[in-house]
Amino acid sequence: MINKVEICGVNTAKLRVLKESEKIELLNRMKQGDAQARDELVKGNLRLVLSVIQRFVGRGENLDDLFQVGCIGLIKAIDNFNVDLNVRFSTYAVPMIIGEIRRYLRDNNSVRVSRSLRDLAYKTMQAREQLMGENMREPTVEQIAEKVGATREEVVMAMEAISEPVSLYEPVYSDSEDTLYVMDQLGDKNDDANWVDEIALKEAIRKLEGREKKILYMRFFQGKTQVEVAQEIHISQAQVSRLEKGALDRIKGHI
């Protein structure tokens, strides 16, 4: 097959994709003790695992290993998902899969962290998963800290201590033409030319139309998607995309 790609002996071109209604039906059957339903759920969500591990490509890790670890996260999500809450399964499963992969990467990290800090970090991750299972949403740092009996600062320090270093060439944003990397967001505050760039940027933004300014503000300061922006200002997503690209091109041209 032309598009055949095998991971852990699984032909990804033949992976089945379940509809949301099928997932809920299988989850209900599984809760009633149907072991076959659980197997079908795992097989029907392997593409979800595959899509998640794409985020970790290029870090020198074996894809077969990441796929197997991701499957563990998928199984945990299946076993802990609450069908009574109005939440899509993938919304709950993706963070679980990512968390399992990151835990694996941290355990295999060459950077040494004290045992007490690592233990607190693991308790924090477990508390986070439990709170997500109970509330079906990302818990706050304060909620996690209360769950593990630590201060907010201790929880943040523990999680940062075991977090995986990010490459300067890690892409953080990409459109059809340009890709923005981590290194593009780093600057030298001692560079005397920075203030000149800031003045040029402000001048370029000042020349934009009111709607263009609003779109850029909502997209890059409020973090909204083009669809969300389109709904709020009552135009199509295609118009938002065109206006955003035009505004960015004018800013680049002016600078």
- 154-164 pLDDT, tens digit per residue, is 888 888 776 66
> Based on the domain organization, do 14 and 102 belong to the same domain?
yes
User: Which residue segment(s) compose the domain that 147 sits in?
Assistant: 110-165
Q: What is the mean pLDDT of residues 172-177?
A: 57
C-alpha 101/C-alpha 61 separation (Å) is: 11
Give the predicted TM-score (pTM) of the model. Answer: 0.45
Residue 114 and residue 88 in contact, taking contact as beta carbons nearer than 8 Å: no
The reply to whether 50 and 122 lie within a common domain is no
On whether both 182 and 232 belong to a single domain, the answer is: yes
Structure confidence by residue, pLDDT tens digits, 96-147: 898 888 888 877 765 556 678 878 888 888 898 888 888 878 888 899 999 9
**Number of structural domains, the chain?**
3
Per the model's pLDDT, the better-predicted residue between 146 and 198 turns out to be 146
Helix axes 141-148, 115-135, angle to 10 degrees: 110
Q: How confident is the model at residue 2 (pLDDT cuts 50, 70, 90)?
A: very low
Whether 22 has a pLDDT exceeding 80, the answer reads yes
pLDDT at res. 139: 87
Instruction: Tell me how crowded residue 87 is: count the other CB atoms within 10 A of its CB.
Output: 14
Residue 3's pLDDT is what? 40
Pair type for strands 171-174 and 179-181: antiparallel
Identify the CATH number of the domain in which residue 13 sits: 1.20.120.1810
